[in-house]
Structures are given as structure tokens and as C-alpha cells.
Amino acid sequence: MDTSKIAVALKNRTPEQLIAHMRTPLYRNGYALMISAAITSGLGFVYWMLATRLYTPELVGLNSAVISAMFFVAGVAQLSLVSVMTRFIPRAGRATGRLVGVAYLLTLSVAACVSLIFVWGLDIWSPALAFLGASPLFTAWFAAATMMWCLFVLQDSVLTGLKQTLWIPVENAIFAVAKIVLLVLFATPFASYGIFASWTIPGLVVVLPISALIFWRLIPHHAHSTAAQAEPIAPPQIARYAASNYLGSMLSLAVTTLLPLIVVHRLGASANAYFAQPWLIASALQMVAGNMALSLTVEAVTDRTSLKTYTRRALVHTMRLLVPMVLVILMGAPYLLQIFGPDYAAEGSDLLRLLAIGTLPNVINMLYLSVVRVQDRIVAIVLLQGALCVLTLGLSHFLIPIYGITGVGFAWVASQTLVAMSVTISNLRSFR
């Protein structure tokens, strides 16, 4: 894509056109989510740069694996309620408060149970993390952290469904700054688990006040302002949607959270430290497409007749933003990773380049998932996410022994490209 043409097009826009562009809900909400992702990624970059300076590679890799395990368990416990919030809140009307309240209670209850089961079975599925079950304190800590993270993620989807995405950058900025402060404070007295502690403790700083804001102010305003457009929502309808999406969300979660655990198991904690930084940067790039897809879902649910128009706009706009970022990564990967240390640059540059390339076909896959969610095409959701999961994890399993952590990059590009080609070919008439 010619970025110079894009720059000229933006330059030639009048102030009125730019204001109208920003006021369009599809773009406004998408930009708010992208700003949040930029803040999280930028401060996250600072966070892990400090972590690699203050902690050994073994501790960075081990704590990264624990955080990935927390993400995985939290994802299992969320019961696909994140997608339920963005799908049903826009038209829930006066039932919004009840819908969100039930989601909070279910998430907390299931998170407590699933986290305990995970810790008790670590000797079977992740012996490297068996220390989490070594004492009741560690077990309770991991369970509480998982419950906190469930609410932290659920809040963002609630705010997105309420079309109050401007609050998301605020909460994520507070969380990211608090993490950095605690990371430095825990480096000497609490080095073994300082990284994990700095992730979990700040969660309460934002979860409690944002939850209060949601229930006491934002939900009543939403219920009043959308009462005329509200649609009746039956609990069986929500249950069917959540249950149908759950399998797909678990398949997607497996890709993003199990890869670090596979690297730890096959290559050791130090290799996972070198893997974690490129994976962090690539995840930030993926958020560009993911956040635009979320905005597409919310707007298309409100106005289904404009689904094709919204999808084309989201595709073009996401590529305009993402292509220049990928080019920068391809040219500057070694210099970018050099910030973490020379070993991180030597081990992870090729992996980072491959992961960046894979974010381009990922745009098609993410937007297609948004479209089929609006259309309630559950089988399509499961098939796409299942294909990505099987291809990425399967290819990584075979390529890691040959290419090391770079094997994950080859697996990522291949899986994303194959699935995107299949989506494009099977929907070519609709795209036209």
C-alpha cells in the first residue's frame, strides 16, 4: 500500500472533514481502543525493557510463563462473556445492568474454581510452574490474580459495548504506570516473583473504581438513552450465543497463551525470555486489527444494514495504519530488540520480522470473525479459530526443535496466510 498517497489524502482533508471522520462511531471507538493499545504497548515496552535489565533471563522467562498461564486460565473462566458484552449490550436497554452484573458474578465464581484446578494439576500439564502449588499462599495468590484479570478484561468489553471506549485508555494507562513502579520496587527485595507481583497488584487499583463507574453512572445513562432502540434479550439466547462462541474463544486463547508455555517446555525459561519480547511487540500490532474489529462489531450490531460498508471501511483503514508499522518492524527489528539487550536482539530479530508479516493476513481473519459474529454464524467462527489453533500450535510443535523460537514465526505466518486465503476465496463475491 502506498503510504505517500495516504498522507496526501489526509493532508488534503479540511478540518470539517477530519472532525466528521473522528465523530463517526466506527472510527471514534476504533481510535480510542487503538490509543489504549498504543499506551499499553508503549508502556509495556518500557516495562519489559526494565525487566530485562533488572531481572535475569531465567526469571523473565519463568514469570512470563506464569503470566501467560494466568491469561489462559482467565480466558477459560470468562465463558466467552467478553463477546457477549460487545454483542448484546448495544441493544440491551434497561436490561444492561442485570446482564453485566450476572457476567461479573459468573466470571468471578468460575475463575476461582478453574484457577484452583489448574494449580492442583500443574505436575501433569506444566511441571515448570509446579512451584505455584508449593504453598497455600502461592495458590491463593494465583487464584486472586486470575479473578482480578478476568474482571479487568471484562470491563473493557463492557465499556466497548456501552460505547464508552474513551475510558479504556485511562484505566490502561494507570495500570501500566503502576506496573512499572512496582517492577522497580520489587527488583531487589522480591526478585523471584517481582514481575508477576507487579502485574497482579495494580489490577485492584483500576478494577474497583472502573466497576463503580460502570454500574453507578455509565449503565444507567446507557439504559436511558437506548431504551427506544432496545430489543428483548432472552437468557436462553445469550446462553446459546456464549456456549457456541466458547469453543472458538478457547481455540483462539490457546494460540495466544499456550505458545509461551510450549517454548518453556521445549527450550527452557531463558528461550522463553527471548521469545516473549517479539511476541509482545507482535501482539501490539495485532491489537490494531483486533480493536477495529471490536468497533465494527458494536456498530454493525446497531445497524446491520451497513455491515458491508463498515467492513470495507474497517479493512482499508486498518491496512493504512498497519502496513507502515510492519515496514518499520521489518527494517528495524534488531535495533528495536537491542533495547532489551544484545542477546535479545540476536535471538529474536528473525522471529519478530515473521510475526510482523503475519499481522497482515491476520487483519482479514479478525474482521471476518467480526462479520460472522454479527451474523451469528457460529460454525464459521469455530472453523476459523480452530484452523488457526491447529495450524499454529501444530506447526510450532514440529518447527521449534528445528529452528528454535524462530519456528513459531514460520508457523504463525503460514497459519495466518492459509486461513486468510481460504476466507478470501470463499467470500470473494461478498468482498466484491
Output the 3-class SS for 294-351. HHHHHHHHHCHHHHHHHHHHHHHHHHHHHHHHHHHHHHHHHHHHHCCCHHHHHHHHHH
Under 8 Å between Cβ of 273 and 195: no
pLDDT for the residue 429: 65
pLDDT for the residue 374: 79
Each of the 432 residues of the chain gets a pLDDT tens digit; together they read 444 444 444 455 566 555 555 555 555 555 666 676 677 777 877 888 898 888 888 888 888 888 888 888 888 888 888 888 888 888 788 888 899 999 999 999 999 999 989 888 877 767 777 777 777 888 888 899 999 999 998 998 899 888 887 788 888 889 989 999 999 999 887 778 888 889 888 887 888 899 999 999 999 988 888 777 777 777 887 887 787 778 777 887 778 778 887 888 888 878 888 898 898 888 888 888 887 787 777 777 667 777 888 888 888 888 988 899 999 999 999 998 888 888 888 999 999 999 999 999 999 998 898 888 878 787 888 888 889 999 999 999 899 999 999 999 999 999 999 999 998 888 766 555
User: 0.75 exceeded by the pTM?
Assistant: no
- Amino acid identity, residue 365? N
b (16+ CB within 10 A) / e for 200-230: bebbeebbeebbebbeeebbeebbeebeeee
Burial class (CB in 10 A: 0-12, 13-18, 19+), 123: exposed
- Residues 220 and 223: their CA atoms lie apart, in Å, by 5
**Cα 285 off chain centre by:** 10
Other Cβ atoms within 10 Å of 43 Cβ, number: 17
Residue with grid cell 460487545, as numbered in its chain: 86
DSSP string, 83-124: HHHHHHGGGTGGGHHHHHHHHHHHHHHHHHHHHHHHHHTHHH
pLDDT for the residue 134: 72
